Structures are given as C-alpha cells and as structure tokens.
C-alpha cells in the first residue's frame, strides 16, 4: 500500500474504503495479498453483474489473444465488432422489438451520456436539458451538468449552463405529483424553463440513494416527452444489463426511450460504452463525434459470450428469486435493530438500506470490510448502504454476505450500548 499512498493522487477513493491490496478474484470472491477472502456486494459499482473473471469470458479472451485477434482498431470493422453487433441485435434488441442504431462512444459511461446530450441538442436545435434531483450521470463536463450532488460540482467548473433540475419521483413525498409539476413548467411560457432538447433520467437512482421510479411515473414521463417533442434519454449504465431482472431497466414500464446509455457490465468488466439511438435521430456526419477508443475489441468478445445469459429467462427468474431473499433479509434487519430507524429500498438486485443517523452507513461499510464483506454507501450524504452483488452469486454466498452485513450492523449497536454503559457507570 505504501507506493499507492505515496504516489497515487489524493483523488483515489475506493482504496480508502477498502484498505488492502487485492490479488485475485473469481465469481463473487475477492482475495487480497494476505489470502483473506471477501464476498463482493459491490461488483465494481455495477460493472461485474456476471462476476469476476467469468470462466467463459476468460476462455474466449485467451483464445482471441492467442489467435492474434485485433485489440485496437479505432472504429474500423473487425471480426469481434461485427459479431458483437449481430449478437446484440439477435439476442437483446430483436426479441424486445427495439430498433436502435448503435453508436460506440469513448469507453466509459460518462462518454455515452456526453454523446447523448450532444446529439439531442444537435437534432432538436435546442440547448436546454432537464435532469432530476439526486441524479448521477458522470463527471465530465456535460454529464456533470446533469448530475445532482454538489460534492462533484464546483462553481468554478461552470457546469450549470443550459440544464434545469426537476424533482424525481417521490422527491417531494408521495403526496406530490412531480410529473404534474414538470408539465406545468413546460406548458407555462413564463416558468423560466426553456423547452428542452431532452430529458435524462435513471429508472433507479443508484448513486442518489437507491430511489426507484414507479412504472407509472416512467410512463407519464414518456408521454410528456412525446407531447412536448422532447427526447427521452434513459441512463441505464448502472441498473441495466439485468440488474433489475430484465436486460433494460425500463422494460417493465413498457416505454421505448429515444436514446439509451449503456456501459459498465456490457463489457463484462472491460471498458465499453455505447449509445442506442432511434434510427431517425442518427444524424451525425461521419467522424463528427469521434475518439481513439470507440469500441474495445476485447470487450466485444466478452460481451458476445455474456449475451448467452439472455437466450432464455433463467437469469431473470434467478434475479427475481434472489431479490425477494435480499428484501426479506433487509426487512428483518430493520426489525432487529429498530433504534437505527433503517429503511429498505430497491428492486431486482440493487438494494439500499437507508440509515438516517449520521455516520452509521459508513461505519457499517467499515465493519463489514473487516468481517470480509465489500459493500459501499451511496446517497447525498452517504447515508445508504448499497447492495450490488453480482447477478450470478450463489445462494449460499448471498446468505453468507447478508449474515456478515447483519453482524456489521450489530457491532454498531453493541458499540453504542458499551458507550452508554460507560457513561452511566
């Protein structure tokens, strides 16, 4: 760790939460240099839905490299790219009756968001965009402008230009219809909100605290976009790729976004980001939006293998079963530790355990790490314990991880009781 502490930038973060040097990983287990094993409930912030070093992916990558497959090719045609596109259409898009063009952006999620915003503004010839409270879309300039948390936004960056913020579903409580508010702002020419080129949203705000938009809210938002000629951009970077049980998180709502941002697990742990675009919106001139790493051939190989999980409903059914198991376990924890006033939120295999008392969630994460569980926090104040295990986690590993989480929470309760006893004595 000394070389990391001495030479890596202060901006490093996860190494501070998990202060050890990891040496290897397989499936749901990380192992550090001392041989200690950790159950991974973090999964690379949603990048490892199919687990660490998925054996089928590793085998395909080794074979590809041994055969001198093209590793870097800009956006030239390669066998890996050709096969990826065809497989994506055959397994993912066609069965869902989705007709999208695929644009390969830079290799990260924020690149996909930047591309979507740029294209929307170009197509609609309007500069304004509407984003939502607690939204997180990335940390480059355009994506940062539509990100809510002020921890990431400094006035000196100048990132607020041409973005209006509206309340997400439930932000003002269940009694307030936030779509009615949005419609009022859009229809009133004196509201101060210019007609936007696009509205961008997550269906579940992951970094924002595991806030789940209802099916009805998403349907209403889609209707408003059609009514006012606004493009709807769904950021499915963290909660797509099966995290909610369906490949796309918006499938249950029955909506068809104008653009969909994908990254993280689409590459099976390797850098890959793409933007799905309705064909009539694909108005780029050749080379108008470019970059050196538009598509990653190794990630194409990994993705092509992983699409096999979506040839039937087995994974979706497994996610549904594990989802209920997680929910029940978390609800039991809220009952077991009532003084912490915790609340369960989530869907599929992304769950949050809100701990309103300041600092509790961070202490739980720290305790869990020492017990052998990797779990992070989210929310505007880091007040939510975030569960994001790989989708392919085995039932016994899931149960073991939840038991460690329970123990980590229990340690806080015991510590508080010890302090109280000390004061009374």
pLDDT in tens, 289-333: 999 999 899 999 999 999 999 999 999 999 999 999 999 999 999
Q: How far is CA 217 from the centre of its chain?
A: 20
Is the Cβ–Cβ distance between 73 and 80 less than 8 Å?
A: no
d(C-alpha 135, C-alpha 209), whole Å: 9
Rounded CA Rg of the chain: 22
pLDDT at 417: 62
3-state secondary structure 273-312: CEEEECHHHCCCCCCCCCCCCCCCHHHHHHHHHHHHHHCC
Give how far Cα 182 sits from Cα of 32, 127, 132, 260, 389, Å. 49, 18, 10, 21, 35
The CA distance from 419 to 425, in Å, is: 10
Question: Which tokens sit at 345?
Answer: 């939120």
Give the pLDDT band (50/70/90) at residue 414: confident
For residue 407, the SS3 value is: helix
Question: Which pair of structure tokens corresponds to residue 378?
Answer: 């989210």
Per-residue b/e over 87-118, b at no fewer than 16 CB within 10 Å?
Answer: bbeebbbeeeebebebbbbbbbbbbbbbbbbe
Q: How many other β-carbons are positioned within 10 Å of the β-carbon of residue 152? A: 15
Distance between CA atoms of residues 94 and 112, nearest Å? 22
Tell me what pLDDT residue 425 has: 42
Beta bridge partners of 198: 129, 231
CA distance 254 to 235: 16
What percent of the chain is modeled with pLDDT above 70? 98
Q: How far apart are CA 321 and CA 308, in angstroms?
A: 20
The DSSP 8-state label assigned to residue 192 in this structure reads S
Q: Which of 115, 106, 96 is nearest to 276 (CA)?
A: 115
- Average pLDDT, integer, range 366-373: 98
pLDDT for the residue numbered 367: 97
Residue 81 to residues 60, 237, 309, Cα–Cα distance (Å): 14, 20, 19
**418 pLDDT exceeds 60?**
no
C-alpha–C-alpha distance, residues 265 and 150, integer Å: 27
**In sequence order, what are the residues at sequence separation of 6 or more whose Cβ sits closer than 8 angstroms to the Cβ of residue 266?**
240, 241, 272, 273, 274, 299, 303
Assign 353 to helix, strand or coil: strand
* Arithmetic mean of pLDDT, 347-375: 97
Count of C-beta atoms within a 10 Å radius of residue 349: 28
Grade residue 4 by pLDDT with cuts at 50, 70 and 90: confident
Question: Is residue 422 pLDDT above 50, yes or no?
Answer: no
| CB contact at 8 A, 121 and 341 | no
pLDDT for the residue 298: 98
Which of 62, 58, 84, 115 lies closest to 297, judged by CA? 84
Assess whether pLDDT exceeds 50 at residue 400.
yes
Collapsing DSSP to helix, strand or coil, 74 comes out as: coil
Give the tens place of pLDDT for each residue, 159-195: 777 999 999 999 999 899 999 999 999 999 999 999 9
Handedness of CA 201, 241, 264, 28 (dihedral sign): positive
List of domains in the chain: 2-54+313-424 (3.90.1150.10), 69-310 (3.40.640.10)
Reported as a single tens digit per residue, the pLDDT across 79-126 is: 999 999 999 999 999 999 999 999 999 999 999 999 999 999 999 999
């Amino acid at each position: 760790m000394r070389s990391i502490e001495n030479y890596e930038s202060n901006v490093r973060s996860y190494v501070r939460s998990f202060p050890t040097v990891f040496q290897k990983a397989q499936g749901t287990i990380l192992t550090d240099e001392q041989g200690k094993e950790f159950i991974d409930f973090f999964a690379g912030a949603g990048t490892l839905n199919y687990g660490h070093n998925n054996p089928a992916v590793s085998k395909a990558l080794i074979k590809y490299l041994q055969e001198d497959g093209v590793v870097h090719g800009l956006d030239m045609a390669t066998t890996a790219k050709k096969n990826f596109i065809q497989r994506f259409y055959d397994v993912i898009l066609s069965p869902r009756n989705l007709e999208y063009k695929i644009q390969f952006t830079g290799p990260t999620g924020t690149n996909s968001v930047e591309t979507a915003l740029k294209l929307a503004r170009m197509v609609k010839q309007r500069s304004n965009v509407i984003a939502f409270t607690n939204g997180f879309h990335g940390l480059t300039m355009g994506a940062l402008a539509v990100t809510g948390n002020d921890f990431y936004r400094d006035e000196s960056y100048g990132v607020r230009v041409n973005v209006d913020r509206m309340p997400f579903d439930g932000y003002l409580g269940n009694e307030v219809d936030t779509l009615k508010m949005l419609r009022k702002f859009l229809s009133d020419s004196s509201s101060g909100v210019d007609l936007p080129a696009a509205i961008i949203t997550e269906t579940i705000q992951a970094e924002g605290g595991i806030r789940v938009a209802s099916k009805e809210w998403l349907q209403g938002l889609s209707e408003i976009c059609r009514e006012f000629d606004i493009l709807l951009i769904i950021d499915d970077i963290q909660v797509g790729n099966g995290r909610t049980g369906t490949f796309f998180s918006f499938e249950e709502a029955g909506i068809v976004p104008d653009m969909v941002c994908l990254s993280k697990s689409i590459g099976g742990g390797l850098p890959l980001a793409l933007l799905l675009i309705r064909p009539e919106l694909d108005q780029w001139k050749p080379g108008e939006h470019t970059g050196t790493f538009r598509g990653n051939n190794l990630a194409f190989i990994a993705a092509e293998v992983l699409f096999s999980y979506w040839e039937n409903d087995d994974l979706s059914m497994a996610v549904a079963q594990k989802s209920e198991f997680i929910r029940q376990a978390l609800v039991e924890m809220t009952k077991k530790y009532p003084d912490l006033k915790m609340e369960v939120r989530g869907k599929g295999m992304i769950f949050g355990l809100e701990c309103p008392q300041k600092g509790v969630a961070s202490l739980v994460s720290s305790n869990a790490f020492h017990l052998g569980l990797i779990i992070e926090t989210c929310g505007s104040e880091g007040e939510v314990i975030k569960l994001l295990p790989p989708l392919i986690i085995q039932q016994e590993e899931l149960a073991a991880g939840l038991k460690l989480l329970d123990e980590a929470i229990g340690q806080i309760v015991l510590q508080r009781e010890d302090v109280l006893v000390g004061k009374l004595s």
